[in-house]
Each structure stands twice: as structure tokens, then as C-alpha cells.
Amino acid sequence: MSIVKGEEWGSAGVVPDDLVIAHSDDAATEFVTAARRTNGPIPPMTLTGGDLSRTLGGGRALTPGMDATELAVDLGAALLDGKLHWFVAHLAARQSWLRGRIVIAANGAFLGSWNIAPRAHPGDGKLDIVDADPSLRDRLAARRRLASGTHVPHPDITIRRREAMQIEFDQPTPIRLDGRPVGRVRTVSVRTEPAALRIWV
């Protein structure tokens, strides 16, 4: 069993022969995208790095035939300018960390060294939508507390747990999926695909 947020989760088993190794969130998303574009199954994965791996307590190298734990992990989907994209860890929308509105759709707790969505669980069928537009002074204060996840509660930072949500911006806003820039949009539609991923840890 794996423990995320104090809850036991997953099932013990033997790592399958078709396991693929993703060294980052973006690499995991590439496996997902390749499978979806060809209407094929998403392969079982192990994660050796990235923010989802940190949330899951992964990081060790696995090989087929090993005893490990299989987790049914949610997948994030985002409709951007009419094109469907996927993400395993997070979507980030912002002009700058120091000014303007910041929106994070988080499938797990971490964004880099920050515990951005401390209650996020990648197997609950929901995304944690962090929506923030605090003053510069409050941003700097919150930034010092992000590593520990103590930046919330805060009156200018809201976190909503949603299966799906549409987000509107006043101007075209840069979007990053699992750290990769994908363009600027004014409207973002996000949703979860519950238990779409088989992650081995």
C-alpha cells in the first residue's frame, strides 16, 4: 500500500512487463498524449522524478517482475482554444508570480519546491483549483510559506475541489502544463479523468 495524505491507497502486485519509465511530469504526459492520439491504452508507468512522483512518494527505479504497489491515479484534461491537452500534475496559468491573477489546477500537492495545494489527492477524482491574486506584499509573505503548505488559508487565495471547471481571464494568459508552455488563452476548461493512470511505486 502507498500512503498519501495519511490514507492507505493502492494494491500490491508485480510490476508488469509493459511498464514505461517517466523521469518527469512532462515525460509522463508525453506517454499519455501519444496513447490518446492513437486511441491506444495508456501504458503502466513508474515515475522517477517530477511533482506527481513527489506527491505519490515515488522516485525509486522499478523494473518488470518486482513487487510494488499499483495506484489508480487521476489524469487532468484541459481544453485550450478548442484543442484537448492532458497533464498528470498541474496546469499553471499566470502572467507573473509577482503580479496578476494566478490559477493552478493541481492533481497533486506540489509544484516544484512548493506545496501549492496541500490537500490535493491524485486519486480522489477531483482537481484542486488554486485561484490567487494577492497584493505584492502578501505574495512575498505567502511565497516564504509555500514550501510548507501554510500559505493557506488566506483571503486572497481560494482553493476549490472540482471534477471540472471553466476559468475565464481578462486577457490572454500563458498556460503551462506540467511545466511545458503551451500558449496563451482567455478561457480554460479543465476536468479530471478519474483513475485513468496506472502508476507503480
pLDDT tens string 16-58: 999 999 999 999 999 999 999 999 999 999 999 999 999 998 7
| Whole-prediction pTM | 0.88
Predicted local confidence at residue 149, as pLDDT: 54
CATH dotted code for 80-193:
2.60.200.40
pLDDT tens string 112-171: 878 888 888 999 999 999 998 867 776 676 666 565 555 555 566 888 999 999 999 999
Question: Dihedral (C-alpha) 115, 117, 118, 121: value to the nearest 10 degrees?
Answer: -120
Domain ranges of the chain: 2-74, 80-193
User: Please, which residues have CB within 8 angstroms of residue 192's CB and are 6 or more apart in sequence?
Assistant: 74, 75, 76, 77, 107, 125, 126, 127, 163, 164
